[in-house]
């Protein structure tokens, strides 16, 4: 099993790309580990969990809350987890966020690793050390930054992933291409959702490439002072939409990226909006959508990236080159109203 180690400011993480779930026991001992997963994954991949101590959570974002953390901690005590125990989050971003958080606070911190099982977790959520939970309507309001010791990638886990979750993950893949990797954007244009689902030979290296884009951005700016903000491309408007409408995260971000491309056209003479839109559609994502602009703008104004009168917006100079720009709120409102 090939291991690639990446260094972050206070620790390092071993990445096992193109591995198999079976090999988990070569990384950690079954005896000193506890897996945390959700009910869907546990049922769909039951055989894999044989012989592993496992805590099974209810599936869904609504369970990424303190009550679940409390329940996990009680089970850890029951299972006699101690400082030598490693917690392993096997799941999508909900499971990995919560596992990383519990591992950071249980006995003032124990080791943890992840086996991401959604495309979104493989390319985004499980990387970068942001762990946390939601509080009421406030997403990721409580948490910390602490890196996992390892990540094991088994692409075959995606065989059971529903189509909507694939699209969700591709929103972040397209985001990475837009801000950092023009060649990957071309590759995405040449494929479709269906062709990539069928071809492990293309998919596995594509996932690794995306993971490495995120790893590099995080290495350069672990605590989000600058470059890491680029990962918010499509997310400023996306979060505001997600807050107001029942949308998947990936759908909201896709609409956000469409508008961000349009704003880039106005402010930076970005010329490739149509290519962005077409690629999003190719991967089953929405683009231009009508929404209650004044209402969404109210939420957008409260965004964390706001600074006094302007808001830090991620725009594109060209595909493959994202930039951070402070836009006065009134100007932003005018531009969005023109769509
Ligand atoms: N920490 C970060 O940097 C970061 C970044 C992006 C997103 N996130 C978080 O990630 C979460 C979203 O992640 P997600 O989309 O993976 O959500 P998720 O964990 O809720 O998974 C989506 C659904 O897919 C199911 N599932 C997972 N793996 C499966 C498989 N292999 N086969 C069949 N079904 C499977 C899950 O049970 C769930 O119903 C959000 O809470 C978000 O805040 C965190
Ligand atoms: Zn996202």
| Residue bearing tokens 């699209």 | 167
C-beta of 40 in contact with ligand 1 (< 6 A): yes
Extended beta strands in 136-218, E state: 138-145, 150-152
CATH 1.20.1090.10 residue ranges in the chain? 163-194+223-338
pLDDT digits (tens, 9 = 90+) for 108-139: 999 999 999 999 999 999 999 999 999 987 88
pLDDT digits (tens, 9 = 90+) for 16-66: 999 999 999 999 999 999 999 999 999 999 999 999 999 999 999 999 999
C-beta of 165 in contact with ligand 1 (< 6 A): yes
Mean of pLDDT values over 272-277:
98
Residue 234, pLDDT above cutoff 90: yes
pTM: 0.96
Average pLDDT, the chain: 95
Q: How confident is the model at residue 243 (pLDDT cuts 50, 70, 90)?
A: confident
pLDDT for res 138: 81
pLDDT digits (tens, 9 = 90+) for 132-186: 999 987 888 999 999 999 999 999 999 999 999 999 999 999 999 999 999 999 9
CATH 3.40.50.1970 residue ranges in the chain? 4-160
| Residue bearing tokens 């909900």 | 94
Mean of pLDDT values over 298-322:
86
Centroid of ligand 1 to alpha carbon of 327 (angstroms): 32
Residue among 89, 157, 165, 230 to mutate when testing ligand 1 (max atoms within 8 A of CB): 165
**Strand bridging mode 310-318 / 306-307:** antiparallel
Residue among 91, 93, 163 to mutate when testing ligand 1 (max atoms within 8 A of CB): 93
C-beta of 117 in contact with ligand 1 (< 6 A): yes
Q: How far apart are CA 146 and CA 327, in angstroms?
A: 32
pLDDT for res 142: 95
pLDDT for res 304: 63
| Residue bearing tokens 């996990």 | 72
> For the chain, what percent of residues have pLDDT higher than 90?
87
- The residues carrying an active-site annotation are 108, 130, 172, 214, 224, 228, 232, 235, 239, 249
Nearest Cα neighbor of 267 from 305, 220, 311 is: 311
| Residue bearing tokens 């943890």 | 112
Mean of pLDDT values over 194-209:
96
Q: How far apart are CA 206 and CA 252, in angstroms?
A: 23
Size of the chain in residues: 339
pLDDT for res 225: 87
Residue 305, pLDDT above cutoff 70: no
Centroid of ligand 1 to alpha carbon of 168 (angstroms): 9
Mean of pLDDT values over 303-323:
87
Q: How far apart are CA 121 and CA 172, in angstroms?
A: 10
Nearest ligand atom owner, CA of 140: 1
Give the nearest ligand 1 atom to 95 CA. Answer: 19
User: How distant, in Å, are the alpha carbons of 12, 225, 233, 262, 287 from that of 221?
Assistant: 15, 6, 16, 27, 30
Q: Answer with the residue of higher pLDDT: 41 or 305.
A: 41
pLDDT for res 297: 87
pLDDT for res 298: 86
Residue 320, pLDDT above cutoff 90: yes
With contact defined as beta carbons under 8 Å apart, do 89 and 99 qualify? yes
Nearest Cα neighbor of 91 from 56, 65, 62 is: 56
Mean of pLDDT values over 62-73:
97
By alpha-carbon position, which residue is closest to atom 12 of ligand 1?
A: 93
The dotted CATH code for 163-194+223-338 is 1.20.1090.10
Q: How confident is the model at residue 224 (pLDDT cuts 50, 70, 90)?
A: confident
Mean of pLDDT values over 180-199:
97
C-beta of 253 in contact with ligand 1 (< 6 A): no
Q: How confident is the model at residue 80 (pLDDT cuts 50, 70, 90)?
A: very high
Centroid of ligand 1 to alpha carbon of 27 (angstroms): 23
The topology under which CATH files domain 4-160 is Rossmann fold (3.40.50)
Q: How far apart are CA 300 and CA 295, in angstroms?
A: 9
Centroid of ligand 1 to alpha carbon of 37 (angstroms): 11
């Amino acid at each position: 099993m090939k291991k690639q180690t990446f260094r972050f400011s206070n620790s390092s993480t071993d990445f096992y790309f193109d591995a198999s779930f079976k090999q988990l026991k070569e990384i950690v001992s079954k005896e000193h580990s506890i897996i945390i997963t959700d009910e869907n994954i546990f049922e769909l991949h039951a055989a894999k969990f044989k012989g592993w101590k496992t805590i099974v959570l209810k599936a869904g974002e609504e369970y990424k809350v303190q009550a679940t953390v409390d329940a996990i901690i009680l089970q850890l005590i029951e299972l006699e987890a101690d400082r030598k125990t490693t917690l392993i989050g096997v799941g999508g971003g909900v499971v990995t966020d919560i596992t990383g958080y519990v591992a950071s606070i249980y006995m003032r911190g124990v080791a943890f690793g992840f086996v991401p099982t959604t495309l979104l977790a493989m390319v985004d959520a499980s990387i970068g050390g942001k762990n946390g939970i939601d509080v009421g309507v406030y997403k990721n309001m409580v948490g910390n930054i602490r890196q996992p010791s390892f990540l094991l990638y088994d692409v075959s886990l995606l065989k059971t992933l529903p189509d909507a979750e694939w699209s969700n993950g591709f929103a972040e893949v397209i985001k990475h291409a837009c801000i950092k990797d023009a060649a990957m954007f071309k590759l995405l244009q040449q494929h479709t959702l269906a062709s990539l689902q069928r071809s492990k030979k293309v998919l596995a290296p594509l996932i690794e490439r995306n993971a490495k884009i995120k790893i590099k951005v995080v290495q350069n700016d672990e605590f989000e002072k600058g470059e890491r903000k680029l990962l918010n491309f499509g997310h400023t408007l996306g979060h505001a939409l997600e807050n107001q409408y029942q949308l998947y995260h990936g759908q909201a971000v896709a609409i956000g990226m469409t508008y961000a491309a349009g704003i880039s056209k106005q402010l930076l003479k970005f010329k490739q909006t149509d290519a962005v839109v077409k690629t999003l559609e190719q991967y089953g994502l929405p683009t231009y959508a009508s929404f209650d602009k004044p209402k969404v703008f109210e939420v957008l104004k409260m965004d964390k990236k706001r600074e006094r009168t302007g808001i830090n917006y991620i725009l594109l100079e060209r595909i493959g080159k994202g930039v951070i720009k402070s836009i006065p709120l009134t100007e932003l409102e005018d531009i969005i109203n023109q769509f």
